[in-house]
Amino acid sequence: MMIGLACLAGPVAAQGFDDTKDQCVACHAAGDAAPETPLLGGIDEKYALLQLVAFREGDRPGDVMPSIVGEFSNDDLRAAAAWVASLDPSPVPEDPTEVDAKAAEALATEHRCNICHNADYRGGDQIPPLRNQHAAYLEASLLDYKAERRVGDRAAMVEVAQALSDANITLLATFLANLPDDGD
């Protein structure tokens, strides 16, 4: 796994959120983030807060995030969530990967991706965006849901992911990661 050096800086939570923003950008900014790391642009404030609390409380596993937010106060978590929500949605990749869009769209419809994550796949109220997220991150997340390594408050995702073959997970992840600009 390739992670920027700032991501490996170790626990910095005692500094509080304002002092760690640069570390967030180093790991999660479009253009700089490792493919296994989620892009933060377009994430709803409520969803961001839920995830940050889950990392802090040990309810969501992670190699780096629990140590970063482990000592954050509730105010730090709220500030971080508000900052995440202020970021622009993730851009269309510069070199989109070709994918069977018709088959992928049919899968997304069959498994209701376009219901919970909205027809434009930008998510919303407590639901993360899928559009133009890293394919490797989406694939790893779906595989984690399928294997019940990641459940949290999204038990519905386990049901959805378990109904998908690994090949279909790869197809969906690649499709969602490479959607063209929708005019927004």
For residue 124, the cross-strand partners are 127
Q: Is 134 annotated as a binding residue?
A: no
Give all strands (DSSP E) within 26-90, no chain letters: none
Q: Is 111 annotated as a binding residue?
A: no
**What is the number of H-type helices and E-type strands within the chain?**
9, 0
Q: Is 7 annotated as a binding residue?
A: no
CB 3 within 8 A of CB 28: no
Q: Is 2 annotated as a binding residue?
A: no
Q: Is 157 annotated as a binding residue?
A: yes
CB 27 within 8 A of CB 8: no
Binding residues: 24, 27-28, 65, 113, 116-117, 157
Binding residues for heme c: 24, 27-28, 65, 113, 116-117, 157
